[in-house]
Chains A and B, each alone.
Chain A
Amino acid sequence: MKYVLMFVETEQFAADLAAMDDAERERAYGRVGQWFTEHADQVTRHVYLMPPESATTLRLDGGEPVITDGPFVEGKEIVSGFAEIDVDNLDAALRLAKSWPGCPLVEVRPIAAT
């Protein structure tokens, strides 16, 4: 089954990351890179998103599309990336997500069969 792991950053996580010195931050990124290498056979693709300030949201349910600056929800928890994985079942997806060394929140959601 295919799932998407949605990686969610919290304010605390962003603050911790910002407080790190360059070497520490390098190591943190290194752990994430290593995770992707180790699980290359299960992760079919992955993306890291630019920060939420770079987002633009469109509302199309009005008539004329309304364009606003920022993400669709203003929150303390921000989706920062996705990985698509292909594993046997939810337990395997959860096992993979548990080993994620990056941000502190991960949503696991199945991809609808097409």
Chain B
Amino acid sequence: MTATPKDELARVVRDHAGRLAAALVGLTGDFATAEDMVQDAVEAALTHWPAEGIPERPDAWLFTVARRRGLDHLKRQARYRSKLALLHWPTQPEPDDRLRLIFTCCHPALPRTGQIALTLRAVCGLTTAQIARAFLLPETTIGQRITRAKRKISEAGIPYRIPDPDELASRLSEVLAVIYLLFNEGYLATTGEVSHDRNLADDAEFLATLLHRLMPAEPEVMGLLALIRLHQARTAARFDADGRIIQLPDQDRSLWNHTVVTNAGDLIARAAAHRRPGPYQLQAAIVACHAEAKRWQDTDWPQILVLYTMLLRLQPSPVTRLHRAVALRYTDGPRAALAELEQLADTLDGYHLYHATRAELLRADNQPEMAQEADERALPLAANPAEIDLLRHRLPWR
């Protein structure tokens, strides 16, 4: 796939905005002010670059604009003005400071929605308008989330630092959760046609790649990165020309990016060598079982079942049990899987995939009427247009 000018613009902004934000927070000591300056510069870049071309040194361009905007906006705040006036480019051959930025944006004292919006803006260089479009929310809502999160950072004294070793595990899982949510949001919203100027799945991949580079010895970071890449490697086969979901058994596997699949498999193996298994590594391993199967019939279901059992032990969840039941269908038959689903009936009654899965199992067990009933239950619960479409096609339309 060749990069479009739009992709290229997103990539350059992504590569430089967070770096600049990190450097400016470090230099000014004020998170909110530095982040506003970078946001101004990003908005200026999105106005100028598409027409004038991307400058040779985008980082220097962004810095110059950010600094100038900062000086304009801060006329009354002598404290920052004097600091800013002293700033020159290149600031210094500073090490990549984005890890501190990421940990601050994903601080557990911030609400999840604030963590997500702030990470996208400060680390990935999205504008408020782009975030709003990606989440189908009003711009004012995203603006408020950003404002509140930044106010909390300053008022509550959330520091700009990398957590101490004893805090790292829990703080890192917070960061990984944000990236994972972003990826899911982007991945589920993805249809054949790309309508947004920023794809959240790409931003999630960018964040996971960055985090892996900055923390190369963290197996769960490797696991999440592998998981994201394994999904992305197969995006091209997920939709037909009309944007309809093609389910895994029917996908054209020659459309998958097998190099990416192989590399992700290597990443999972390297992560496993650390002997610190975790939910992301296990999920990646499960997806790898699918991605590495030459044909649907070759899927290693016993292995997938083992991995789901391990995942459940680490992180009990009804949704994971539902997925495990699907594997059980292929190792022990649809009856065994249906019996497992029976036990989830109360907890997952409001979840469309519970009913959709049940429908498939019932169909496999030769109970078409019951299957149709289950599909009908699933339909009003689904939110994604492509999924709704898929369910509709299974139902005789009335």
Contact = CB atoms under 8 A, between A and B. Distances in A.
Interface in B95-121: 107, 109
A88 interface: yes
Interface string B159-190: 10101000100000000000000000000000
B156 A110 contact: yes
A3 B158 CA distance: 12
A91 B168 CA distance: 12
A91 B161 contact: yes
Contacts of A90: 107, 109, 156-159
A17 interface: no
A90 B163 CA distance: 12
A94 B164 CA distance: 13
Interface string B270-306: 0000000000000000000000000000000000000
Interface in A1-38: 1, 3
A43 interface: no
Interface in B111-157: 155-157
Chain B interface bracket (under 10, 10 to 19, 20 to 34, 35 or more): 10 to 19
A91 B171 CA distance: 11
A91 B159 contact: yes
Contacts of A1: 157
Interface in B57-99: none
B189 to A, nearest CB: 34
Contacts of B167: 91, 95
A110 B159 contact: no
Contacts of B161: 89, 91
In this complex, which of A89, A91, A94 has the most chain B Cβ atoms within 10 angstroms of its Cβ?
Answer: A91
Nearest to B107: A90
Contacts of B107: 90
A93 interface: yes
B163 A91 contact: yes
Interface residues of A, number: 10
Interface string A84-108: 0000111101110000000000000
B53 to A, nearest CB: 43
Contacts of B109: 90, 94
B376 to A, nearest CB: 42
A111 to B, nearest CB: 10
Contacts of A91: 158-159, 161, 163, 167
Nearest to A93: B157
Contacts of A95: 167
A89 B159 contact: yes
Nearest to A109: B156
A1 B109 CA distance: 16
Interface string B226-244: 0000000000000000000
A62 B109 CA distance: 37
B58 to A, nearest CB: 33
Contacts of A88: 159
Contacts of A89: 157-159, 161
21 contacts: A1-B157, A3-B157, A88-B159, A89-B158, A89-B159, A89-B161, A90-B109, A90-B156, A90-B157, A90-B159, A91-B158, A91-B159, A91-B161, A91-B163, A91-B167, A93-B157, A94-B109, A95-B167, A110-B155, A110-B156, A110-B157
Given A3-B157, A91-B159, 12 more contacts: A1-B157, A88-B159, A89-B157, A89-B159, A90-B109, A90-B156, A90-B158, A90-B159, A91-B167, A94-B109, A95-B167, A110-B155
- Which 8 pairs, one residue from A and one from B, show the smallest C-beta to C-beta distance? A89-B159, A1-B157, A89-B157, A90-B157, A90-B158, A90-B156, A91-B159, A110-B156
